[in-house]
Amino acid sequence: MRKGLILLLMFVLPLLLVACSEGEAVPPVNNNEDDTLHKNITGVYGGQTDENAVVIIIDEGISFPSNINPVTFELSREIKECGIIPALVTGDRVSFDCSFASGMWEIKRIAKLEAARQTVSAVFGGWIDNNMFEAIVGGQPTPFWVAEEIKPEVEEKAPEPGAEMELTYYEDGYGRLVLTEVKFE
């Protein structure tokens, strides 16, 4: 009986030790998007939620794994340091690369997409609010969003209804006509 017990332990004990040892483990399968870089995603910049995050509305038809739109993205250290975020304006069209890690989306690269500029002759109709005025273009009243960069110049000129002008603008991601230059005649 003793011999049988010793033989049993000689065969079973090594099997238990091998089964319980760590040895070479198979690396875990990555079933999430942790290491996947999603490139050249386009959308509309929705603004900065705090110093570390922004909101972007992903364009329709873009293959993007999030089922929530708009999406909040953390800013990578490189993006924070490059200074592009303060230069973006809500409504700017953007292209970006991002990845998903630790339960958050993170922007790795972002660039403003330049929209085509158009120039038209118009007649000033009046201010709609502090950021917009109406102009008559081709006989149609048209609202224009005044970009912050040119707002002081336009306010200084204090145009009267009926004043003729030349407007240079682009259409932003929200469909607003954003003025980049105004020349009064």
pLDDT of residue 32: 44
Confidence of residue 33 (pLDDT cuts 50, 70, 90): very low
Q: What is the mean pLDDT of residues 117-121?
A: 93
Q: How far apart are CA 67 and CA 45, in angstroms?
A: 18
Domain borders along the chain are: 37-112, 118-184
pLDDT digits (tens, 9 = 90+) for 88-106: 888 888 999 999 988 899 9
Question: What's the CATH class of domain 118-184?
Answer: mainly beta
- Residue 26: is its pLDDT beyond 60? no
- 71 or 172: which leads in pLDDT: 71
77-104 in b/e form (b: 16+ CB < 10 A) is eebeeeebbeebeebbbbebbbbbeeee
Whether the pLDDT of residue 184 is over 90: the answer is no
Share of the chain above pLDDT 70, in %: 81
Q: What is the CATH number of domain 37-112?
A: 2.40.50.140
At 87, is the pLDDT very low, low, confident or very high (cuts 50, 70, 90)? confident
Alpha-carbon gap, residue 136 to 73, rounded angstroms? 40
pTM as predicted:
0.59
Residue 22 has pLDDT above 50, yes or no: no
Question: In whole angstroms, what is the distance from residue 15 CA to residue 54 CA?
Answer: 55
SS3 call for 91: coil
Q: pLDDT band for position 35 (50/70/90)?
A: low
Whether residue 86 is predicted with pLDDT greater than 80 in this model: the reply is: yes
What is the mean pLDDT of the segment spanning 177-183?
89
What are the tens digits of pLDDT across the range 36-58? 899 999 999 999 999 999 999 99
Kindly compute the dihedral angle of the four CA atoms of residues 125, 130, 132, 135, in this order, to the nearest 10 degrees: 10
11: pLDDT confidence band, cut at 50, 70 and 90? low
- The rounded mean pLDDT for the chain is 82
Q: Is-same-fold flag (37-112; 118-184)?
A: yes
Of 13-22, 72-81, 83-92, the one with minimum mean pLDDT is: 13-22
